[in-house]
Chains A and B, each alone.
Chain A
């Protein structure tokens, strides 16, 4: 059904069963750690030694690699073009491309930045692949995320796909009445599709009104502390692990400033 929910792969691995907040803490810790050390090998090690094994344990390795590359390839190209070719500091020039100089330092810098981003993106992908968005939102609310913010996120994830479905329905209705949606050049197409926006937006507006009525009927936003139907399992060990991961990330920064990695 929805594109946003399609990320999630149901499973029963150890990674799947972790409390989503623990996985979020991992995303934060591994990202901090990756940016904490300016060495090319360091983010690569985090990716290969922590994230890839995580994906393998979760049984989502294939999808993990495809999604990470899908997200990442365009970034990588832009990064190398910008940073590799326009590195401003002096350095060893590897080759001349017209007015541009490719420097070793520029390539190393681009590579390190790329790998750091890779660590961050991969951690997120691993979280999304192994966590149902509903569980994620429940766990975050359990951890103190305000219900209104949780609602905005959950509703966006679920309502946008249904909005697309409505746009398709309106389009089909127009096609059924003989409107040629696909023929002609881009400008002609836009001109023909413009009238379709009316019904779509109008529908969205009355939706908002009815939906807010529905939310009020369900006592949303009353000054009562809400209780929770779904309780996402958590444990003292996981709570400890979350703090430990963040502490390790900070330790990495400290060690780096002390020169341990140089």
Chain B
């Protein structure tokens, strides 16, 4: 669905490239996670996937990014935005200012797409229900907390039903329950055939819901694969990502000989529980 081929990119103001030879494939109908340390290039990659690099930001690039059969650099933005949606990192900048209530703010994208009114009302209600913001419907989007604004930003893109949705840390200002709710909602839209690329710090949520993870460090994709493999990789600390509580606890137990030796380290609650249960039953091989 989204494909990076040997993509290297430098911002117009920066001398050194920020992305180096990125190869990455986001497959249709799947939920991909992108993780990396601060400043590693996650937002840049997200913008390149949605076409705002190079169309809005400019800069120098080599290689290619494609969305479906479209070459991003050769496709005008208005034609791209119906295929790829982008939720940016800062929620405040994403409130359009064009509408005065949350429900109208969410409907705004559909209005611009010319979605027929009855259909639009259904979609807005559905997405507010799914993201549990129906109680905010008649508030001003400017009177919401940062976390609430983030959820509204996600809703405003989901409602447009792009083929691919790219989200740049949409849960950074949410509490754990809110983050879980958003990630679960994103995992759920897979059922409608939507493809998702999510930049997210919540490793445990990704372990549970993502189909595939990509790790970025200093502008390079350094690892990719199923979350269970990536999140238990010993190089995780070197990449500056940290580990899930479940992996960390199992690793300590293994050092003390309290974890079944043949069992891989877990990245989820279920995996950790199964391992500790086995250990408690004396299965330490």
The answer to whether A224 touches B88 (Cβ under 8 A) is: no
Q: Is A179 an interface residue (CB 8 A)?
A: no
Q: Is A218 an interface residue (CB 8 A)?
A: yes
The answer to whether A218 touches B112 (Cβ under 8 A) is: yes
Q: What is the minimal beta-carbon distance from B70 to any residue of chain A, in angstroms?
A: 16
With A132-B100, A228-B117, A229-B104 known as contacts, the answer to whether A214 contacts B82 (CB < 8 A) is no
Stretch in contact with the other chain, from B89-97, B223-231, B261-269, B274-282: B89-97
Specify which chain A residues have a CB less than 8 angstroms from the CB of B66 in the assembled complex.
none
The answer to whether A220 touches B112 (Cβ under 8 A) is: yes
Q: Kindly identify which residue among B95, B101, B109 contacts A219, using a CB–CB cutoff of 8 Å.
A: B109
Q: Is B273 an interface residue (CB 8 A)?
A: no
The answer to whether A213 touches B88 (Cβ under 8 A) is: yes
Specify which chain A residues have a CB less than 8 angstroms from the CB of B98 in the assembled complex.
150-151, 154-155, 215, 220
Specify which chain A residues have a CB less than 8 angstroms from the CB of B108 in the assembled complex.
218, 220, 229
> Number of contact residues on B: which range applies?
35 or more
Specify which chain A residues have a CB less than 8 angstroms from the CB of B116 in the assembled complex.
227
Q: Is A97 an interface residue (CB 8 A)?
A: no
Q: Is A1 an interface residue (CB 8 A)?
A: yes
> Number of contact residues on A: which range applies?
35 or more
With A211-B93, A213-B88 known as contacts, the answer to whether A226 contacts B111 (CB < 8 A) is yes
- Contact pattern, B 160-189, Cβ under 8 Å of A = 1, otherwise 0: 100000000000000000000000000000
16 contacting pairs across A/B (C-beta < 8 A): A158-B97, A162-B142, A210-B88, A211-B94, A213-B47, A213-B93, A214-B95, A215-B98, A216-B81, A217-B50, A218-B109, A219-B112, A221-B78, A223-B78, A224-B114, A230-B104
Q: Could you list which residues of chain B lie within 8 angstroms of chain A, going by C-beta atoms?
A: 47, 50, 52, 56, 77-78, 81-82, 85-86, 88, 90, 92-101, 103-104, 107-117, 120-121, 124, 140, 142-143, 156-157, 160
